Structure 1
Amino acid sequence: MAVQLREITDDNRDAVLALEVAPSQKRFVSEVPESLAQAARYPEAKPWYRAVYDGDTPVGFVMLSWDVVPDPPDIVGPWFLWKLFVDGRFQGRGYGREIIRIVTALIRAEGATELLTSYVPAEDGPAGFYAKLGFVPTGEVDEDGEVITRLPL
């Protein structure tokens, strides 16, 4: 596995926009077109996003609020994992774990001491994935009912 985070450019935009989560996950995370639209709507959240590649193959997408001044309830931070998904065809191969490893190394180098994220609480949701990586609930729930979690760095 040679995972890299790459900027979305005119050369790779169509391939990245075509990535799709598994059908059962669509209620938990928005896909790339909606995520990019959200990034454009909320510039104050300092969206930082990248396509996830394994070699020359796009396999996922990640978006963070990058060193933002928190302004609850709208902006959680300073370092917030806003979007993370791996295309349904590539799940179960360790990409999600590797994306978190890369992201945490990047933000730790910027002085971050924790990474926050949130998830929809559901039996078949991503809570177990985040818990295995060391994320712990903060005790807070956002305005959409998502559980906010913290990964100490």
Structure 2
Amino acid sequence: MSIHLACHSTLTGAQREQLLTLDVLPEQKAFCGDIHGALYTLLDRPNPNIRGFALLHDAVPVAFLLLKRPPFLPPWADEDAATLHALQVDARLQGRGYGRACLQALPAVARQAWPQVNQLMLSVDQGNSAAHGLYLSEGWVDTGTAYRGRVGYERRLALTLPA
């Protein structure tokens, strides 16, 4: 069994087609969007400061996420950060540790993509206790900052990358 986070640009045509079948639960779409919106962000105007990554399990995409750097950072992010967006685990496969696997692989792929990045940042809806707990269990630190997001109040979390 092989699980790894692969850059979208390295996916085969078949893997890109499989990625299009990734779906999240309806109640999650308000927070992470859907795969079509995430891929539109990635592919509409390709830019080296927006990268997509698919979590592959035995070469099959089971999750997807976006990373962004300046000038695409949201206003709440620090300039030396890359921000995590649109983390999506296929609804049919949730509860199997794929979200955790994405978070565990993320520091290495972020550092490889952008060596100058010192931290990862994300925002999570204050009411999304499952996601908030997962991030904290993987070493992310709640900065104590809450702000009004598009769905409700969101918490800002950060993860310092090893040198």
Normalised TM-score (structure 1): 0.80
For this pair of structures, how many residues does the alignment match? 152
Matched-pair identity in %: 29
In structure 2, the CA distance between the partners of 1:13 and 1:113, relative to structure 1 (3 Å rule), is: same
Q: Deviations over 1:13-51 (max 9, x none)?
A: 221011011233222211210112233567679210022
Look up the equivalent residue of 1:149 and give its one-letter code. L
8 A Cα contact 1:28 1:120, kept in partner: yes
Q: Spell out the pairing of 1:1-153 with structure 2 (5 A cutoff).
A: 1-4=1-4, 5-7=6-8, 8-40=11-43, 46-66=49-69, 68-69=70-71, 73=75, 77=79, 78-109=81-112, 110-141=115-146, 144=149, 145-153=153-161
Report the 3-state secondary structure (helix = DSSP H, G, I; strand = E; otherwise coil) of the residue aligned with 1:18: coil
CA RMSD of aligned residues (A): 2.8
Normalised TM-score (structure 2): 0.76
Q: Deviations over 1:55-107 (max 9, x none)?
A: 132211011014x3576528665311122121112222221122122121122
In structure 2, the CA distance between the partners of 1:37 and 1:113, relative to structure 1 (3 Å rule), is: same
1:9 CA displacement:
4.8
Structure 2 unaligned residues grouped into runs of 5+ = none
Structure 1 unaligned residues grouped into runs of 5+ = none
Look up the equivalent residue of 1:152 and give its one-letter code. T
